[in-house]
Chains A and B, each alone.
Chain A
Amino acid sequence: EAGVTQFPSHSVIEKGQTVTLRCDPISGHDNLYWYRRVMGKEIKFLLHFVKESKQDESGMPNNRFLAERTGGTYSTLKVQPAELEDSGVYFCASSTSRANYGYTFGSGTRLTVV
């Protein structure tokens, strides 16, 4: 079975520009999550989709971040306009309704804002 796919793997943009990250979850996984790790800190929750609905977006830093999940399949995370503090590694994870075997993570997108 294919894993969770994220792209791009790396992105370098200038402050004020827009960047869109994409995540393709494992087929059939209704739950999709976005997490972020900034330099020197722990991985932190951003938001959780169940199918196409946002279940919890309490971790989103501010309204410069917009996440969507079209038709309950892939998800995008847009940052507009990007700021220096948005730099970090953005991870996507997916799971079935029973996550007792663990969430499957993608390899992440390393975002650098200069």
Chain B
Amino acid sequence: EDQVTQSPEALRLQEGESSSLNCSYTVSGLRGLFWYRQDPGKGPEFLFTLYSAGEEKEKERLKATLTKKESFLHITAPKPEDSATYLCAVQAVIQGAQKLVFGQGTRLTINP
């Protein structure tokens, strides 16, 4: 069964304190790993797609990396506006149908 596990569930950091979020996955027919950011009352907002082990993507203070079993979202010198829930999802394609399998998310709080 396709499964995505994110850790930690919640993380509190001081402004400027760098850290990493983890996403481990088991899926058949992987067609990409996605990172999303979700703010309260909003839908998930797309950040990155990674397709192959060793791939890295960066956007401002965020960098996502991928191995064969897990992905990391590195946050460098975060600011309070980076506070949000970060969601990891894998895209599985089965018999032509595609769907995202989500983890439960990591709730990140950056204190000023």
Contact = CB atoms under 8 A, between A and B. Distances in A.
Interface of A: 4, 31, 33, 35, 41-45, 48, 55-56, 58-59, 91, 93, 99-108
Contact of B44 (A45, A55, A99, A105): A105
Interface residues of B, number: 27
A40 to B, nearest CB: 8
A58 B47 CA distance: 27
Given A55-B96, A99-B98, A105 B104 contact: no
A72 B91 CA distance: 23
A48 B98 contact: yes
Interface string B91-104: 10010111111111
Contacts of B49: 100-102
B49 to A, nearest CB: 6
Contacts of B100: 33, 35, 43, 45, 103
Given A42-B105, A43-B102, A56 B97 contact: yes
Contact of B91 (A4, A35, A99): A99
Interface of B: 4, 32, 34, 36, 41-47, 49, 51, 87, 89, 91, 94, 96-105
Given A100-B49, A102-B49, A45 B43 contact: no
Contacts of B105: 42
Nearest to B35: A102
A1 B88 CA distance: 25
Nearest to A104: B46
Nearest to B96: A55
Given A48-B99, A100-B32, A105-B45, 8 more contacts: A35-B102, A42-B104, A43-B89, A45-B99, A45-B100, A102-B47, A103-B46, A104-B46
A22 to B, nearest CB: 15
Contact of B99 (A56, A91, A101, A104): A56
Contacts of A56: 94, 97-99
A42 B99 contact: no
